[in-house]
Chain A
Amino acid sequence: MRALVVDDSRAMRKIIGGALRKLGYETVEAADGAEALEVLKSGPLPDLATIDWNMPVMDGLTLVTQIRANRAYRTMTMMMVTTEAEHGQIVRALAAGAHEYLIKPFTPDALEEKLALLGLLPEVAGA
């Protein structure tokens, strides 16, 4: 399985990307929403995108909205991974089209459990 990790922090991309690779994912990265759209245009469609909210150039909520508007990306699951922690923000992200929401900080277990919910745990995981 393939995942696109979108976050303006390189540290966070390393943490999320590393955790996903451990679970059996191949990962690609983008540092903001606009870069993420470029990656999506040029490569095969990932199964999963983890999307940060606050980023320069194009924020995560806008990115979710744009991905949602493009039928070609319909099969990709979007999970916000962000420090935005208010009830209302989660509602907004889901309404925009995000499928799941993980609040930073999170433990590796929490990431894995969210993927299990989404049916996106590669078979190798846990083996």
Chain B
Amino acid sequence: MTAGFELEELGHYVEDEALLQIVMQMWDSFFSTVEPPYPAFEPIGAEGPVLCASVSISGARPGLVTVTVPQATASALAAVMLQEEALPEDEVHDALGEVANIVAGNVKALVPDAGSLGLPVLSTATPRLGNGAAEVGRMDAVWRDGWLSVIVWLS
């Protein structure tokens, strides 16, 4: 049955609404001391260098979940998550990686016959999945003077 899935059907499993719920649950858990992000139509706000944490999903339909934020937003998010200001760069990367890991795990549970999660990979640009993969879910939101963008790719 799995082999017959069209990408559109997979998109149905990872609806943008579901992605929003996953991100908001994360917020209620680890960022509840500050105002929540609000959904936007596209990434808006601060420009400049970004940080992206991505986690792969193996299985019948391999995929990738990316969480991209401006670098300043990454530092601010890590500070909230750990209740600690001025964290060193590696801890900011680690915190964003864990955010991506949590989003990816919850996304994986929506995908039929998914395998396992990869470990978070950090980069300074949002990777794209080639080879027949498509963006099946996306959430953009504005937070303070930055933004965050979560994208789910499946092949």
Contacts and interface: CB of A to CB of B under 8 A. Distances in A.
Contacts of B102: 83, 104-105
A9 B94 contact: yes
Interface residues on A, range: 20 to 34
Given A86-B109, A105-B25, A54 B116 contact: yes
Contact of A11 (B28, B78, B105): B78
B98 A11 contact: yes
A84 B30 CA distance: 17
A10 B104 contact: no
A6 B136 CA distance: 33
Contacts of A107: 28-29, 32
Nearest to B22: A105
Contact of A9 (B26, B29, B101): B101
B101 A54 contact: yes
A39 interface: no
Max count, chain A CB within 10 A of own CB: residue among B83, B91, B109 = B109
Nearest to A104: B102
Interface of A: 8-12, 14-15, 18, 54-56, 82-86, 104-107
27 contacts: A9-B94, A9-B97, A9-B98, A10-B94, A11-B78, A11-B81, A11-B91, A11-B98, A14-B82, A15-B30, A15-B81, A15-B82, A54-B101, A54-B118, A54-B119, A83-B105, A83-B117, A84-B108, A86-B108, A86-B114, A104-B101, A105-B28, A105-B29, A105-B30, A105-B102, A107-B28, A107-B29
Interface of B: 25-26, 28-30, 32, 78, 81-83, 91, 94-95, 97-98, 101-102, 104-106, 108-109, 114, 116-119
